[in-house]
Structure 1
Amino acid sequence: MLASPNFNFGIFSGSSIDNSTDEKAINGSILLTNLFIKYFNDNKLPWSPIAFDGRSDYGPFLAAGKACAGLTTGGDAIKTQDERDRYAAQLPQGENAGIVNAMLDPCYHNKCDTIENINWYAYEVMVKAAAFVLENIGQRSDLDTWLYSSLVQSGRSEDMLKYEIIENTVLSQYYRKTDL
């Protein structure tokens, strides 16, 4: 879900993955999470950590030891006052920070869940964030090594694992920070 009407910019947090998952997959997931965080921070956009809680199709990949990452603008979660206030302070002027105590996507899994029920601004932000990460990992000749090195850190914070960004990408040249 990349365009929920009452959106948040959710980044699946690699540090929330169950400890029974292969540590290399956890580390790789945290590295991917860091790429998404970098995109949002570099573009001065708010974001919300989302737990890998088993409610999506990433489970079999993690079970197989594969790194996972992702974005969501939310489904049946309710927007809190704190989240709305934080988004209002960080979103570009004129962008709506949403409605407190309302579902992020009131049409989630309902008949009204159509192209007519999306937030185009959220969609654009999420597509650009996904493109940034995909281009970054797509340009790596050492992706498996980067994702699955035996690096093990104490603690599970995204800040604890360093990430290396390929800065000179087509997207970084095409999309200027003033776009968002």
Structure 2
Amino acid sequence: MKTAINMNNKIVAFFALFIMTIGASAQIDRSQPPVAGPEPEISIDKPEEFTLKNGLKVLVVENHKLPRVSYSLRIDNAPVATGKKAGIESLIGSMLGNGTTTISKDDFNEEIDFLGANLNFGISGGFASSLTKYSDRILELMADAAINPLLTEEEFDKEKLNYLKV
């Protein structure tokens, strides 16, 4: 008898909870989209501009809200008709940022991972970001990857196979 009463109480409690859930969801009017909040204010400071001795134009916009730094490098390549060698630029671009002539690919990638940084290169440039305390080292790695890329025949063959698989 006690078991039947317990079971009835559980069924009643479950049914009551089910009815309350339906009632709560029925009160939300989904026929109208929610009202938008106020537009956020975006304030971008004017960048500080200067040119290095080697002709590299530098733009700096400081934002001290987060302890992060990011660098962007744009390589101004002249447009070239690749003809029968179409895709070679993408293939070479995918090899950039994977080690340098001074740091092996594995050591290069391990250091970037250890720093918790991001470093990406392509044929038209590169991007790096890290915590501010590692900014000098990530900039050194980025510069080394841009100036001394590791372009070995072995890596070229690996990338070529990856492109052919796709």
Q: TM-score, normalised by structure 2?
A: 0.32
Higher CA-based Rg: 2
For CA contacts below 8 A with separation 6 or more, give which structure has more relative contact order: 1
TM-score (norm 1): 0.30
- Normalized per residue, the structure richer in strand is 2
